[in-house]
Structure 1
């Protein structure tokens, strides 16, 4: 049986996998980026939980990260479409099917990365805050 944390991260990966870009989880950046772009979901950091007593409950604001990468001559427009599609995918179900209290993304901070002998990459880390509650920090 999966922990709540893993179930939420798997549901987020599944939600992102519906997008036209390639979506990986925890992988390294491949040598080629397809024209629709590439997303890499990083598990991130659950942080320190808020704790309530009776019953003992841990409230997390887990910070996962999505690395968004595009390449090509029209990378600015492609990057914009990719970020908007991530936002729409998250807004369509903020609870990931009821297993998460709330999901929200923060604004990306894009950078251009030169690639020797190829078109440069446009990339950004998009923080995604996953709000959830568990009875045990290891569950």
Structure 2
């Protein structure tokens, strides 16, 4: 597995510790959201790595995108559930800033919040959270 794939897998594993969270990789928002919330980790982009010579190493600052959503009938319940989910995500990721040694540093960044209410359905509050992963790889791939 590549250093990037190991890092993304470690993020997903850390988030799987959140009770009731329905966590996926690269998945669209489902029609029905689990009571504990929905999260999908999207690959994101790395940008240009910094190259080190002797020995050859590449230092990456990769930003993955975590899409999250909760569904509740009332705006107050929706806001509370969304806030609790964001707090749980932050706590899960900062508990081990190296994600068991797969990265040099992980950082949760401020994201974007959106509120949608489908016709005849409960309201959905969704957002995306950028997750910065700093890691070193022994090849540029």
- The TM-score by the shorter chain falls in which range? over 0.9
Output the TM-score relative to the length of structure 2: 0.92
Bigger mean CA offset, 81-90 vs 51-60: 51-60
The DSSP-based 3-state class of the residue aligned with 2:88 is helix
Unmatched 5+ stretches in structure 2:
none
Give, in angstroms, the shift of residue 18 of structure 1. Answer: 1.0
Give, in angstroms, the shift of residue 53 of structure 1. Answer: 1.9
The DSSP-based 3-state class of the residue aligned with 2:36 is coil
Unmatched 5+ stretches in structure 1:
none
| Number of the residue aligned with 1:124 | 127
Q: Does 1:5 align with 2:4?
A: yes
Deviations 1:104-133 (A, max 9, x none): 010122111121111221111100000000
| Number of the residue aligned with 1:76 | 79
Pairwise CA RMSD: 1.0
Give, in angstroms, the shift of residue 86 of structure 1. Answer: 0.4
Output the TM-score relative to the length of structure 1: 0.94
CA distance in 2, matches of 1:46, 1:100: 14
